[in-house]
Chains A and B, each alone.
Chain A
């Protein structure tokens, strides 16, 4: 959802243990009258019809409730942590709820970090949210830890944008900016750019809202621990203009 927000600008409200019939996790996109409700099952055997059809009945009731609340697109999902179980559930969705119901697979692990090693799609989603281009597994794991920490601080209900903004309130910041690269680049003044462009041995870019740099050998690299929209970045630029470094070694202590 963080990735979707960054890619499309579409924000969502997430709630866990919401009030409802399918309530483990509910995702609302009120602006487009869209709701998804998830029931999570770690059990080895899961059935739509067990216990007098409890799950199917809950799904139908959730659909009625959410439609009555004004949501135009309502999707209800049964999530299990076994792909074979998911496949069986997909093949047996009761017709009465088939229009809006589906079974999904999502892995479960305690602790959760090994899943980033096992599932590349999960690692890539967290890497996308990192302030580093080409973020490695370590960086993806750190993003996961920080995002989950932010969610737990704001739970049981929060907008994805609020979770991201909360997660960015740390030093160093490791979550990418919500703003565009063009907006971030615009924070670098022409005067500062003129000095930096003449520092022998320095290459730099502004990506994901952050100033990333490298020396000429490519052995020394880094990303400033604050984004381009921060007062710290303005302070960094003032130091550049004050000291006017001409070589990488003169600049290095400021990085």
Chain B
């Protein structure tokens, strides 16, 4: 069963339905993710203290970069955040739970095989960790840990259009209390059912296939290309 949070508006509920609808086309799905990103950013921006000049570091996975995360970056810009205060980190993760040729899960890791990370001062930043859906929290935990690496950021926003029940507690339990106490969660819906590994209704199945990113290892997000080029200009 799905429970909507106080952040959910009619517009975001509609976008969530678009995601859950298996008949939504790839481009409609992508647009919905982008719109949800903008909406999430508006919620997060409302929590920022205008006088405190902190950078905002958006951390995302490769599949979310051009849609959800791009929407979040755009949303922060719409809220008045200057370009030079917005930073991006994008991670290519591979989730692995078992050794080759075995049938049982022996561990649960999501190693980063490559990353794009702009120069950032994590200590004086709001770190915004973004994911299309947070369930086991393994990928979010890995990427956030890699980003902060024993440095305590000013604040940590964890943002996802949908979260699975208990994921907030699971993620917090992976960090020292000094860090976990800084987590602020932004989501529109919490689901409590799964079909195998897939949360239902969640985001309508595997985000890779819904976004048309079956070859995500080779995919280089447009937002990464554009921002990287701007760094060298």
Contact = CB atoms under 8 A, between A and B. Distances in A.
Residue of B96, B176, B220 with most chain A CB atoms under a 10 A cut-off: B96
Residue of B109, B113, B174, B218 with most chain A CB atoms under a 10 A cut-off: B109
Contact of A217 (B109, B112, B232): B232
A150 B99 contact: yes
Contacts of A148: 107
Given A171-B100, A174-B111, A220-B114, A138 B142 contact: yes
B181 to A, nearest CB: 15
Interface in B86-107: 92, 94, 96, 98-102, 106-107
Contact of B108 (A145, A220, A221): A145
Nearest to A248: B228
A254 to B, nearest CB: 8
Contacts of B78: none
A7 to B, nearest CB: 23
Contact of B109 (A142, A152, A216): A142
A150 B106 contact: yes
Interface in B103-140: 106-109, 111-119
Contacts of A224: 113
Interface in B142-171: 142, 145-146, 149-150
Contact of B231 (A145, A217, A249): A217
A253 B218 contact: yes
A136 B96 contact: no
Nearest to A222: B114
B107 A255 contact: no
A146 interface: yes
Interface residues of A, number: 38
Contacts of B99: 149-150, 153, 166-167, 169-170
Nearest to A114: B176
A219 B220 CA distance: 13
A138 B101 CA distance: 26
A168 to B, nearest CB: 9
A20 interface: no
Contact of B113 (A117, A217, A225, A252): A225
Nearest to A136: B149
Given A138-B149, A149-B99, A222 B113 contact: yes
Nearest to A145: B107
Given A136-B149, A172-B96, A217 B228 contact: yes
A170 B176 contact: no
Contacts of B106: 149-150, 152-153
Interface in A211-255: 215-217, 219-225, 249, 252-255
A75 interface: no
A117 B94 contact: no
Interface of A: 113-114, 117, 136-139, 141-142, 145-146, 148-150, 152-153, 166-167, 169-172, 174, 215-217, 219-225, 249, 252-255
Given A137-B145, A171-B100, A172-B94, 11 more contacts: A113-B174, A117-B176, A138-B142, A149-B106, A217-B228, A217-B231, A220-B116, A222-B115, A223-B114, A225-B113, A249-B225
- The 10 closest A-B CB pairs, nearest first, are A222-B114, A149-B106, A149-B107, A138-B145, A142-B109, A253-B218, A145-B107, A169-B100, A169-B99, A220-B116
Interface of B: 92, 94, 96, 98-102, 106-109, 111-119, 142, 145-146, 149-150, 174, 176, 218-220, 224-225, 228, 231-232
15 contacts: A113-B174, A138-B142, A142-B109, A146-B109, A149-B107, A150-B99, A153-B106, A219-B116, A219-B119, A219-B228, A220-B115, A220-B116, A223-B114, A224-B113, A253-B219
